[in-house]
Amino acid sequence: IEKENQSRIQEFILLGFPGSQYLQISLFVVFSMMYILTVAGNVAIIVLVKAHHHLHTPMYFLLCNLSFLEIWYTTACVPKTIAIFLGKSRTIPFGSCILQMYFIFSLGCTEYFLLSAMAYDRYLAICYPLHYRTIMNSTKSAQLALGSWMSGFLAISISASLIARLFFCSSNVINHFFCSIDSLIILSCTNNSVIEMTAFLISIIVILGTCSIMLVSYIYIISTVLRIPSAQGRQKVFSTCSAHLIVVTIWYSSTIFLYVRPSKQSSLEMNKIVNTLNTIVTPLLNPFIYTLRNKEVKDALWKVFGGT
């Protein structure tokens, strides 16, 4: 009977960012503009790559996958957050909450695998330039992309299925702007040590595992670049992966802070700030980083806008 009473919660209330009406309106404007720019920027990258034949390479194919992911990653949480700022609806049904959590974290996991696939691609291009086209063909790049998507969604399915079975006490208020694993674990009144440990182990495997792949790739890349005799040659070769390195640094520094720790009883306010960086700022920055740091993309953009 006790468990039946605990499981009667049918919806949750998302607090978002509590504050004055002026703060809510300001956040609404900022989040809306960033969301529009994020979607527009990532769509532009996809269209640009599709429209220019010389960009039909494994590197840009993986970049298109990343841009496509970023569109849906930010869409999974930002529209609901904007509605909260407007005061339209702070409630979210239990099923929708679990689904939102699953998609956000699955897409986040997929991003780790895609970034590691992109690092592997740069490793082959720089360390084995003569064999690159043979090794990294269209089939191989498609396999890497498909494997990244499948691995990301399968990894979170374990935690999502466990959290969907939790029983919740009287409180249904989530101190966040989306349904996060941390928030749902904290609200649960059942023994959640198994779920915490499972989520922690998945974080270790996904985050640190893919981070190790990238670390090894860049060690080989840097050692290869340093053996190039001319400074101009070193700069030219390393510039092909500098944008990827910037994105990796921003993404990993924030996500390791959030998820690679066994206890979820930490400052939720700090988590909200860092999650804003992950779900809104990083997807917005990615198109600009790859555009400004990549000569081929800049040349393609110049042609689109009538340059010569």
Q: Which residue is it, tokens 């700069």?
A: 235
pLDDT of the residue at 4: 46
Instruction: Give the start-to-end residue ranges of the domains of the chain.
Output: 2-304
CA-CA-CA-CA torsion sign (7, 12, 13, 17): positive
Q: Can you tell me the distance from the alpha carbon of 87 to that of 82, in angstroms, rounded to the nearest whole number?
A: 9
Q: Does residue 154 surpass a pLDDT of 60?
A: yes
E strand or H helix that includes residue 253? helix 231-259
Burial of 306 (0-12, 13-18, 19+ CB in 10 A): exposed
CA angle 181, 187, 192 (to 5 degrees): 70
Confidence grade of residue 294 (pLDDT, cut at 50, 70, 90): low
Report how far apart, in Å, the C-alpha atoms of 123 and of each of 54, 170, 198, 223, 295 are: 20, 52, 32, 11, 19
Question: Which span out of 62-76, 157-171, 243-257 was modeled with the highest average pLDDT?
Answer: 62-76
- Strand segments, DSSP code E, in the chain are 11-14, 91-93, 173-174
Class of domain 2-304: mainly alpha
Q: In the sheet that 91-93 helps form, which strands lie side by side, from edge to edge?
A: 91-93, 11-14, 173-174
Q: Which of 180-189, 213-222, 246-255, 289-298 has the lowest mean pLDDT?
A: 289-298
Q: Can you tell me the distance from the alpha carbon of 269 to that of 202, in angstroms, rounded to the nearest whole number?
A: 23
Q: What is the mean pLDDT of the chain?
A: 83
**pTM beyond 0.85, yes or no:** yes
Q: Which of 27-36, 94-103, 171-180 has the lowest mean pLDDT?
A: 171-180
